[in-house]
Amino acid sequence: MITAVSGSTGLSSPQSTESQSLGQDVFLNLLVTQLKHQDPLNPMEATEFVSQLAQFSELDEMRKISSSQDSLENYLASLNNFSAVGLLGKVVEFSGNTFSHQADSPAELTFSLGADAKDVQVRIYDSQGGLVATLRESNLAAGRQSVTWNGRNDSTGSACPSGTYRFEVSAKDAAGNPIAAATVGSGIVQEVTFQNGIPYLCVGGLWVALDDIQRIGPQG
């Protein structure tokens, strides 16, 4: 579902050749008039004549470059918008700690460790902030890691309902020193909206900018 669209998604119309030739004709007419009415005793220097022609040519080229740049920017924005719409229904990953959970299905939680970890704990919270599960891992190498949650509440053993959850990761090295851990959020793209020409994706109720998407998975 696209809730709003702002900004141009097509190419701007190039200026007509008629308007371009009109500018050239006006310049040439002015130059001819200047030559006709110049002082015979003090005629225009050849270098001055060439300089005026060069200035006009430079301005004309700058105008053409500016017009081409505007068209290219609009074209790239159009491609970006189409790419965002194409993500509807797909699973994406982004910098964050929220994820979409489907009842009776396991959830893969991804994070990155700044160094080798001896002990790692992953705590999972529901949308109300209540702790529902704690996962423990040991001897994980630095870099990208993933753990799987079975989708059940540790206290009751029952399956947790579908919804948006968040997780936190704490890690320590062999000496007991804390290690930095960056979480990766994930979920299904439910909506796409555009604000000031920038696409935003609704993932599990959280709005994420298209530029913040790190990975795209298959259809959810």
Candidate from 88-97, 135-144, 195-204 with smallest mean pLDDT: 195-204
At 108-117, the pLDDT tens digits run 999 999 999 9
Alpha-carbon separation of residue 183 from 46, 170, 187 (angstroms): 70, 10, 13
pTM above 0.75, yes or no: no
In 10 A of CB 98, how many CB atoms? 20
Yes or no: say if 205 and 101 are a contact pair by the CB < 8 Å rule.
no
